[in-house]
Structure 1
Amino acid sequence: MRYWRALMYFREELAVGQARSISLDTLAQRLACTRRNAQIVIKKLVEEGWISWQPGVGRGNLPTICLKKPVDSVLKQEALSLLAQHQVERATALVPEPQRQGLLAEYLAGCRRSDNRSGNRAIPQQEQSDVLRIPFYRGIHDLDAVQLSRRTEVHLGSYLYAGLLQRDPDSGRIHGDLAAHWERDGCDWHITLRKGLTFHDGSPLDALAVQAHFARLQASDSSNRRLFECIEEVVVLAPLRLKLTTNATAGFIPTLLTQKAAGISKVSRDGRILGAGAFRLDEHTEWLTRLSAFDQYHGYRPWLDAVEIWNIGDQAMDFEVSSDVVHPWLVPGQTAPFSQLEGWEKGCEYALLNENRAGWMAVSAHRQRLSAFVRQMPLPAAMVPADYRVAKGMLQSDLSCHHTGVAVDFSDLAVPDAPLSVLTYQLRDHIALAEQLAAALNAAGIPATCCVETFPDFNRTERLAQADLIISGEVFGEDAELSWMEWLKASTALAVCLQPQQQTRLRRELETVFLSDNLAERLDKFQEIEQWLVDIGIYRPLWQNRQQLNVRSHLNGVSLLANGWIDFSRVVFSSP
């Protein structure tokens, strides 16, 4: 590595053909080695014609070095070679930071060309892995089971962590995953684990491991923790048997155990988070997240050997289409060979009004007027009307994308002492909505500012508590009941906006939901709770999105999941 570190130093510090004095000590320090090793590197670089080196003659005279030819090309080729060996951190270190995502994009394009050139030639056994490589516009955030929140991270986590129970995506029925048997006894649930379960490191997954997972979840600062507060205690009865004691919503427990944070995990001695899902996490850096199939998985092994998510930033927007499945907004104008699958997302984009803010926002009449103002906002110009419709709630909408009603006037209200803070996170539509709302408020005589945060920072209680209006969104999965509970109990933004007495009422209302054994009645009750949040001026649904996926005609059975991804467990490759 000292050889390449030397070439990187020369690229940064030397111009081709210009001599420069440098001490051997300085060079050794930059190469993080001894003077003797630095001399060995210098000798090799001289022999290969990269530099000339003239030792200093006499006391106080430093050696003279001259770079004889550019080094960028050889550094780039070495970086591509390291990428092929999955040494991503070493590879990206060889190129300047602004060029790193371009390097990764070039490597991915090269992988595609290499696959196409292989034809019918014999492929060595070590190269016969089937790897799904996905160019992505950002790095992957926290993949700890108890911290999963964003849709992408939730999707990847669903393959890393297995839960006690899982819901069949086709039938909607709950069945055992890690659990072989479960039954209710009043407020308790008794669970028996399968035999022979292991984590990805080979260590046993038993009742003690399940107990430790829930203890870690309930001790965490995760928003998911609030959803599991109904589990008062996890008691180990035998190596493969345990009891969950509940203090609320006991009937919700089977559904709750299919939730993402209930994916059983453990912390290894070296600090890694381990699961027992169909894939194990092999690498997780700023640039690459790699999942490899877990051969000891207790269920059906995926056909894929690995999935790689590559962070190539804005390069993802104009990456050469070499896929059979694409999102149309990523590759505009390149979708002619594809047919389109689409549907309306369940859930909606919405605004929250923070009742816990002092001053102007503390007045109920002000918030009601502000809520009505938000409701009448037109669709931002950057959003195509055909791709949106007005939301009346998470699961209700108008076919039109235009709001109607009398314009809201603020002229008879006092002006806030400080501008209202409109907060959102880095999602294109949310930014457009937040910026338009702040501009409209200023035009209406209510000073307002717009702030956009990265998602991990946006979702912190202390940051949300500083906002007057919050633009966010929720996407419901196939299990509507679980989605309602995730939003009402685990949304940090919603919790921040509710006053203590409203939190108490919400918990009481949720308890009454599960007094009914009828799912339809429970779902109706959730919508009544949602309407209550609208009525008290805290929550205002805005828009629902059209979800799209483009696929080539030869693909069959490709479905678009609620999280916007396809199911890695069902992907197979076929020869062209």
Structure 2
Amino acid sequence: MEHLHQLSSSHLKRLRQLERKFNQNLKTEVTITDLAEILFCSERNVSKLMVSLESQGILKWLPGRGRGNHSKLTLVKNFEDALFDKIEGMVQGGKMNEAFILAQQFDCVWQFQNHLPQWLDEAKQRLKQQNTLMYVVPYSLPEWRPHLALSTRSILMIESVFDTLVRFDSEQQEIKPYLAHQVDVDGLQIRVRIRNNIQLHNGEMLTPEMVKTNFDMRCKTTHPYQILFRHLVNIEVEKQWIVFYLDQHDPVFLHLLADIHSAIFDLNSDTPVGSGAYQVERLEPHRWSLIRNTHYFAFGGHIERAEFWSSNELPISAIHVEESCWTYLDPTDSKDIIEHSGCTVLQFPHHKNVLSNEELSWIVHYSRAYVNGAEVREANSIMHCHQEKGFHLFNRGMKRPSRPVVFEVKDTHRAEIQPLLSALRRNGLDLLIKDKAGFDSPGSTDVFYDCYAFGDDIAFQYYEWLLCGDVFTRCLSNDAKKSLLSFVDALMRESISSSEFLQKLHRAEDWLIQNYYYCPLWRDHIAYRRADNVYGTDTSSMGVMTLSNMWLE
């Protein structure tokens, strides 16, 4: 393998040409003329190429002596083995980008991603010297635009690259200024003074006008969180101050400003440009990297560079951090596993051929019966803080659906929901399973399964889920949406604080349960495996690490 690490891409190209004509470990007679045609080179260069390839341990070469005598060639190494030995050596030497480029050159990026986790362990020391964090994830580049991000997969990127005007302090349970230097609340008017020393990654200074443009966009354009800005009726700039005007009392509006989906970014850039502790170095579907922002106004990160690689294969030993999902998890299995609980749910879309309440009641009853008997933690509410309030249905009538019930399940969730679906089938339910992409129309789904995770600011996260989650957007009729929105606004007006609002919101969730719009199932998990030389990997309530808190020993 030592020879193979010295292989050039030209050597590999020649090996691939030869492999198409010759079998490995079989001595074959060949003429110089034949080799020149195979290698697309002149006859006088053939001998030089053979000697060069032999010196790399690729083949054995016995040149013919005299006119009419054929040369003899034996391939010692096949192309794929030689290529991946070369790439593995580059990875272990910390040359990740060069290895990826070589894989691209020979159209084997997919194989590279699958082998990557197995190679990374030996690269630890070299990467440690470079102060480079290696992070392997089971997905491709997540959505980075804050107002469009729907998955927890986006959070680490967004929190690293962008900042918000204010932040939620989970220990003190209060909102504190961040990009804002000062925040004043006077009734329905919220004044925010912007720091004057904030520099974006492109060198431009952050201005109040840029902040106003960000929030004007969020109010006027369609995006998943637009409804949360419904009480914001006007925004004005007064020198370094931004003034937000509301049309009613909103106990979580400051929490909305602290939410990562409200992060400030350059609207005119096609790549992520913010003011965060890290800036984007490379952005590709299956690999992306961040480097430390040396002009950060606050305390920045310890790690100089973080590389993220997409791989679907569980590594033998993770290099620094490897992320995966575990539904049935014993947190005592490994000291390297960090556990976080989310909540899995069944949701019942609104359409013309919707199941009756009695039929939905049957599905809920037998789904909850399965949860009670399975090795999972039952969820009575989507929020853990309301778990003790129990799960109760006032409508006792139920009947088994008379037609096949169509379940929508993402490919990534198929394995975890299979035991539940098997239990429903044993109880006589005729069901079909399709991926979301396989549906011809929205009206073809009766039940869809998903999982939700929540951040540290649980009052706001609860409110956000109620109005922006799939239950609101897909399961409620227009009249039901208006009713729920009116009810939530009334709860807002009655609530002095966000904590009081959190307690009152359970009434809205219970209304969704009683009307068979959704049903909580069990607590789910997000898990990470950490190398023993990476620190600061504590996770938020949503189960997400913070890059700026991490460092290598």
Partner SS state of residue 338, structure 1:
coil
Partner SS state of residue 526, structure 1:
helix
After superposition, residues 195-206 of structure 1 pair within 5 angstroms as: 195-206=196-207
Aligned to 1:177: 178
Aligned to 2:369: 376
Q: Please give the root-mean-square deviation of Cα atoms over the aligned residues, in Å.
A: 4.5
| CA deviation map 1:273-327 (0-9, x unaligned) | 21111111222334323221111111101111122222232233xx226669998
How big is the shift at 1:533?
0.6
Q: Distance in 2 between matches of 1:306 and 1:330?
A: 31
Aligned to 2:454: 476
After superposition, residues 185-196 of structure 1 pair within 5 angstroms as: 185-196=186-197
User: Which residue identity lines up with residue 313 of structure 2 in the other structure?
Assistant: D
Matched, 1:357 2:351: yes
The answer as to whether partners of 1:163 and 1:177 remain within 8 angstroms in 2 is yes
Aligned to 2:52: 48
Matched, 1:320 2:317: yes
User: Which residue identity lines up with residue 433 of structure 2 in the other structure?
Assistant: C
2:380 to 382, 391, 396: 391
User: Which residue identity lines up with residue 122 of structure 2 in the other structure?
Assistant: G
User: Which residue identity lines up with residue 421 of structure 1 in the other structure?
Assistant: V
How big is the shift at 1:340?
7.4
Aligned to 1:447: 430
Matched, 1:109 2:121: yes
| CA deviation map 1:150-208 (0-9, x unaligned) | 21321331111101111123222211111112223443433221112122121222123
- The more displaced of 442-451 and 158-167 is 442-451
Aligned to 2:108: 96
User: Which residue identity lines up with residue 201 of structure 2 in the other structure?
Assistant: H
| CA deviation map 1:110-135 (0-9, x unaligned) | 212546xxxxxxxxxxx853222223
Q: Distance in 2 between matches of 1:160 and 1:509?
A: 36
| CA deviation map 1:323-374 (0-9, x unaligned) | 69998969999988838776x73x52111112x222252x344334443343
User: Which residue identity lines up with residue 90 of structure 1 in the other structure?
Assistant: I
| CA deviation map 1:26-56 (0-9, x unaligned) | 999xxxxxx9xx999989745623799xxxx
How big is the shift at 1:531?
0.6
Aligned to 1:273: 272
Aligned to 1:55: none
After superposition, residues 42-81 of structure 1 pair within 5 angstroms as: 45=49, 48-49=52-53, 70=77, 71-80=79-88
The answer as to whether partners of 1:338 and 1:552 remain within 8 angstroms in 2 is no
Matched, 1:348 2:343: yes
Unaligned runs of 5+ in 1: 29-34, 53-65, 116-126
Q: Distance in 1 between matches of 2:515 and 2:484?
A: 12
Aligned to 1:284: 283
Change (3 A) 1:257 1:522: same
Change (3 A) 1:531 1:333: closer
The answer as to whether partners of 2:343 and 2:453 remain within 8 angstroms in 1 is yes
The answer as to whether partners of 1:410 and 1:445 remain within 8 angstroms in 2 is no
User: Which residue identity lines up with residue 260 of structure 1 in the other structure?
Assistant: I
Change (3 A) 1:69 1:209: farther
Larger RCO: Structure 1 or Structure 2 (Cα < 8 Å, ≥ 6 residues apart)? 2
TM-score normalised according to structure 2 size = 0.78
Count matched residues: 521
Partner SS state of residue 422, structure 1:
strand
1:560 to 521, 524, 539: 539
Q: Distance in 1 between matches of 2:389 and 2:487?
A: 30
The answer as to whether partners of 2:167 and 2:178 remain within 8 angstroms in 1 is yes
Aligned to 1:123: none
How big is the shift at 1:397?
3.0
Change (3 A) 1:407 1:245: closer
Unaligned runs of 5+ in 2: 1-7, 62-72
Q: Distance in 2 between matches of 1:338 and 1:206?
A: 46
Q: Distance in 1 between matches of 2:15 and 2:217?
A: 44
The answer as to whether partners of 1:207 and 1:241 remain within 8 angstroms in 2 is yes
Q: Distance in 1 between matches of 2:358 and 2:286?
A: 49
User: Which residue identity lines up with residue 508 of structure 2 in the other structure?
Assistant: I
How big is the shift at 1:479?
0.9
